[in-house]
Amino acid sequence: MLSTRVSHQVINCASGGGGVAIDNKIEQAMDLVKSHLMYAVREEVEVLKEQIKELVERNSLLERENALLKSLSNSDQLSQLPAQQANPGSTSQQQAVIAQPPQPAQPPQQPNVSSA
C-alpha cells in the first residue's frame, strides 16, 4: 500500500503535482515522528511509575524503621534530636544516635588479677 502510494506521489511530482506529494511526505514524516515520540514518552512514564513505586516502598520501610527506633529509644535521646537537627554539622552524630538502640549501663569490669 505504501509503495503504491509513494509511486503515485512520484508520478504526481513528475506531472506537476509536486506540491501535493511533498505535503504528503511531510505529513507522513510528522506522523512517524509523533508515533516515535509517543512511544518514547510511554516508555519513560512506565520507568517513572516503577521508580515511584520503589520510592514509596522505601519510604514506607524507613517510616516503619523510624517508628521502631523511636519506640526503642528513651526520652533523653529523643529530646536531643531537635537540637542536633538544628546543627547541620552533626548529621553523622544524629545518625549514630538513631542507628544504635539504647543499651543498659554496665558497671566497669574489674581486671582479673590472679595471685600466683
pLDDT for 42-101, tens place per residue? Answer: 999 999 999 999 999 999 999 999 999 989 888 887 788 776 555 555 444 444 444 454
d(Cα 45, Cα 61) in Å, to the nearest integer?
24
Cell of residue 51, nine digits: 521508580
pTM of the model: 0.46
